[in-house]
Structure 1
Amino acid sequence: MARSFASTDVNEEKEISFEQLTENAWVYVEEGDPTSGVVIGDDGVMVIDTRATPIAAQDLKRRVAAITDKPFKYVVLTHYHAVRVLGAAAYGAEHVICSEPTHDLIRERGQQDYDSEAGRFPRLFRGIESIPGLTWPTITFRERMTVMMGGLEVQIIHPGRGHTKGDTVVWLPEQRVLFSGDLVENGATPYTGDAYLRDWPQTLEKLRQLQPRYLVPGRGPAMTTPEDCEAAMAGTESFIRALYEGASQGVGQDQSLKQVYDSVVPRLEEKYGHWSIFDHCMPFDISRAYDEAAGIEHPRIWTAERDREMWKQLEDG
């Protein structure tokens, strides 16, 4: 029996936590859903990934207001996916920051991604009517920029392609806190539908070179020791390599997408099936891995229609 499409049948409420990591860094975790980061500097607040809608962002706003009356000054988008960026309007921040490649992706496919993700995650997009439209940056950067929040140095870095072509991380060098976005997951399945799978391990190596003491992942709770940071990066890399190697083997044997899906998913499930959103991600992950192994360098645009057609092909045969 085929599974329900994506996460359309996931309706239960998730446990939320808001925890302080260092003097300036906080993490907002919603049990298996996208994780957000908060940096509180001398002169204001930075939010890293905004929640899916302005209504969904209200809980995070309330929790920040309970610990500081400083204004929201910056919103940083780790990448363009709707579930992470469309709550930005809630904060009234002075600046919205993203990499130039992320800005390009918003222009190229932002609306299609909005429509696609709203269909995949109806629970996360409750209050969709509160979204005023696509989230556009006020500041873009190519490889790296530094923001001084009073005496606190905040580095915003585009380390390379991985989860998307525009991935951005936020790094607090004095406290060695890394906000990785979906380049690193913790107990959650990496979504790779828009990924560059061959590049991703090299990008993770650049994150390793920072030697983080704390790591706030795209999904899951924060890591609070160097050893746990490395374990999360290694786990993400292991999944990415296994996914791509399985798809490459199938493409090399002239297998169809359905054949690759049917052979690779059970192998991945043995090791990673307990990670959150595993079933949700697999059709999208295998589709992109198959394309990249077949020589399609840049991810094809997902639309609500393509989502459903792909899911039916792979789940129903």
Structure 2
Amino acid sequence: MKHLIPLFVIAAFPAAASEDIADQYPGSILYAKPVEFIPGVFSATGATAPPTYENAGHNNNLSFIVTDEGVAVINGGASYELAAALHSEIKAVTAQPVVLVINENGQGHAMLGNSYWAEQNVEIVAHVEASAEFEEYGAQSLRSAQNTVKERAEKTTVVLPTKTFEDSYTITLGGIDIEARYLGPAHSPGDIVVWLPQKSLVISGDLAFHERMLPVFPHTMTAEWIETWDNAFEALGATYVIPGHGHPTNMDQVRRYTRDYLVYLRDKIGAHLEDGGDLAEAYYVDQSPYAHLDTFEELATKNAGRVYEQMEFE
């Protein structure tokens, strides 16, 4: 267990963020090589930056759980080739076959790689809302990926999950309980977490961010996200967290950069509204405590505007 301490400590600091590094693993299409965070649980940390040709669209975390009865993969990946590259890394670690893929939500970087896993005859599981989201917008996600990563998306097609659930999906592999849970509204439709109770580890998907600023989408209801966090996510009592974006870490860090950021921004926008401020001014409310996060320049003003539009009618 001694090797866990450096990884755990290093992962907790924003200095580990990598927005300015185009590719950390030149030998693979993956942005970074998978690392064993705790025994049996690996994660290939994506770039804390928007998808680019250089990072091959790998800007979220692709994780896998190795057991004596097979491997469970968390996230299909942003393309056929990314999924294939992750599979190659898995084969280098274990002879156990991949028996399950869980999509953390309906975004392209979680589901476009399903096209590879379907060829391997692997069960692909997602929340019913995430599946519906990808069914509606998957073609759009694919076009966006093709425009960004070009030939690296050539084999990628839109493939829906083979199994969906509403509240939870649980499987036990090699004595390890793997629980996919829908905790409530969060970042995007059908966001789920994967909870490993025996390991006190949660793979949070986009319910939690680390090292980069989270984006508030037009459909992201920030008040409900905070409520889901406070009422359900904290209740897990996780010791270890693999977030949707950023290096594996702990609850204190993801709380700081997700829940606390949402509360902070809503407080700033709320005060702005009370003072009679308009939308044009709302874009520039003070977010300086979070200016060190990757993607701050791309997202801070957009987030403020969208939270203003939400809170104006709350």
Partner in structure 2 of residue 291 of structure 1: 309
State the Cα distance separating 1:13 from its structure 2 match.
Answer: 2.1
CA distance in 1, matches of 2:91, 2:152: 21
Decide whether the 8 Å contact of 1:27 with 1:37 is kept in 2.
Answer: yes
Decide whether the 8 Å contact of 2:213 with 2:294 is kept in 1.
Answer: yes
Q: CA-to-partner distance for each residue in 1:263-296, whole Å, 9 max, x for gaps?
A: 22xx11x111211122222354234323322339
What are the residue-to-residue correspondences of 1:199-210 with 2, within 5 Å?
A: 199-205=224-230, 206-210=232-236
Structure 1 residues without counterparts, runs of 5 or longer: 1-8, 297-317
CA distance in 2, matches of 1:151, 1:34: 28
CA distance in 1, matches of 2:121, 2:301: 36
What are the residue-to-residue correspondences of 1:131-280 with 2, within 5 Å?
A: 131-133=156-158, 135-193=159-217, 194-205=219-230, 206-223=232-249, 228-251=250-273, 255-261=277-283, 263-264=284-285, 267-268=286-287, 270-280=288-298
Decide whether the 8 Å contact of 2:106 with 2:189 is kept in 1.
Answer: no
Partner in structure 2 of residue 302 of structure 1: none
State the Cα distance separating 1:21 from its structure 2 match.
Answer: 2.6
What are the residue-to-residue correspondences of 1:95-110 with 2, within 5 Å?
A: 95-110=123-138
After the TM superposition, which of the residue ranges 36-45 and 13-22 deviates more from structure 2? 13-22
After the TM superposition, which of the residue ranges 241-250 and 24-33 deviates more from structure 2? 241-250
State the Cα distance separating 1:67 from its structure 2 match.
Answer: 0.9
State the Cα distance separating 1:126 from its structure 2 match.
Answer: 5.8
Decide whether the 8 Å contact of 1:17 with 1:28 is kept in 2.
Answer: yes
Q: CA-to-partner distance for each residue in 1:10-66, whole Å, 9 max, x for gaps?
A: 882245132113333111113423112111122221111232111123332221110
State the Cα distance separating 1:136 from its structure 2 match.
Answer: 0.8
Structure 2 counterpart of 1:100, which letter? V
TM-score, normalised by the number of residues in structure 1: 0.78
Residue identity (%) = 20
Decide whether the 8 Å contact of 1:44 with 1:72 is kept in 2.
Answer: yes
Decide whether the 8 Å contact of 1:14 with 1:30 is kept in 2.
Answer: no
Q: Which of 134, 139, 142 matches 1:111?
A: 139
Aligned Cα root-mean-square deviation (Å): 2.5
Partner in structure 2 of residue 41 of structure 1: 67
Decide whether the 8 Å contact of 2:213 with 2:257 is kept in 1.
Answer: no
TM-score, normalised by the number of residues in structure 2: 0.79
Q: CA, structure 1 residues 238+97, in 2 after alignment: closer, same or farther (shift >3 Å)?
A: same
CA distance in 2, matches of 1:116, 1:288: 22
State the Cα distance separating 1:212 from its structure 2 match.
Answer: 1.0
Question: Does residue 25 in structure 1 map to residue 47 in structure 2?
Answer: no
What are the residue-to-residue correspondences of 1:37-76 with 2, within 5 Å?
A: 37-76=63-102
Structure 2 counterpart of 1:211, which letter? G
CA distance in 1, matches of 2:21, 2:154: 19
After the TM superposition, which of the residue ranges 190-199 and 13-22 deviates more from structure 2? 13-22
State the Cα distance separating 1:115 from its structure 2 match.
Answer: 4.1
